[in-house]
A and B are shown apart, each in its own frame.
Chain A
Amino acid sequence: MNNSILWYATRGAGVVSLLLLTVVVLMGILAVLRFQTAGWPRFLSSALHRNLALLSIVFLVLHIVTAVVDPFTALGWNAVLIPFMSSYRRLWLGLGLVSLDLMLAIVATSLLRRFFGPQIWRLVHWLTYAAWPLALLHGIGTGSDTRFGWMVALNAACIAAVMLAIAFRLQSRFRKAPSRMLLAEVINQ
């Protein structure tokens, strides 16, 4: 097999993983909207959020496997299991691995939620806010396509979408806060 094909596949799978992860993060942040219609009950949004998270892990595995078997990088499996062990682009690959480990922790606690309880699950789920920017930094730092216009546009779109979603969520929280306080006062009276 032509070595370059593996390299191209690594880059393609990396981009798709980032896009899927961004969609998963957006769905998680905007879950506060509690969107539902007659044809789309609310439980479908959380189920789709879970399915897409698992799908993003699948494409992440494709990204990693194609990178490891590419003879040019000669990463070896140790480098993709232990962060900052790689002699090749140690910092950027390490950031990607930390992001992967955080995502695996999130997926594991979500699948085993009944054993951990909601508090630990929620605490671990907050790690998403670290995993996503680490993945983005990994791509920007080590990606071969970072300097090209299409990748700049994709990165910018991902950042803008997540920033807007966070702003929207914070705004909706602040908007709810006075009504909550008012409700608490009424209850206390």
Chain B
Amino acid sequence: MGSTQPLTPPDRDRALARLGRVTTGTGIGALLAVGGFSYVAAASYSGKHVTTSTVAPVASMATPSASATTDTATGAPIVVPTVAPAAAPTAPPVAVSGGS
């Protein structure tokens, strides 16, 4: 395939210059490709968005209003006031990434 004539020094110099240009071009192209693929990766999957919370278990907050019960001795209703739960502190959303 192709010629098999020996290279002259100027031909060799030109070939080496071509090699340098191809290598440099590939390197720059690869660097740009890293940016491009990073962008595509971010657009495809930017990570899970989870919200963590320190709210007490649901069962303990089932009765936010006053609850009523009956005194077994008098039969009179006893109103047991319950305190509304304070605003539960919520942690800021955390972006979770993973893998490569």
Is A110 at the interface (CB under 8 A from chain B)?
Answer: no
CA distance A3 to B28 in the complex (A): 25
A residues in contact with B23, CB < 8 Å: 48, 51-52, 55
B1-A4 in contact (CB<8A):
no
A residues in contact with B100, CB < 8 Å: 7, 10-11, 14, 63, 67, 139, 142-144
A8-B3 in contact (CB<8A):
no
CA distance A145 to B98 in the complex (A): 11
Binds A, one of B14-22, B55-63, B64-72: B14-22
B38-A9 in contact (CB<8A):
yes
B residues in contact with A15, CB < 8 Å: 33, 37, 41
Is B2 at the interface (CB under 8 A from chain A)?
Answer: yes
Is A129 at the interface (CB under 8 A from chain B)?
Answer: no
Q: A4-B42, A7-B97, A143-B100 are in contact. Are A16 and B33 (CB under 8 A)?
A: yes
B27-A12 in contact (CB<8A):
no
CA distance A64 to B42 in the complex (A): 18
A41-B11 in contact (CB<8A):
yes
Is B47 at the interface (CB under 8 A from chain A)?
Answer: yes
In the complex formed, the residue of B with least CB distance to A72 is: B97
Query: Can you list 15 pairs linking A and B with CB atoms under 8 Å apart?
Result: A11-B41, A12-B37, A12-B39, A13-B38, A15-B33, A15-B41, A16-B34, A34-B1, A35-B1, A36-B1, A48-B22, A59-B30, A72-B97, A89-B99, A143-B99
Residues of chain A at the chain B interface (Cβ within 8 Å):
3-4, 7-16, 19-20, 33-44, 47-48, 51-52, 55, 58-59, 62-63, 67, 70, 72-73, 89, 139, 142-145, 148, 150
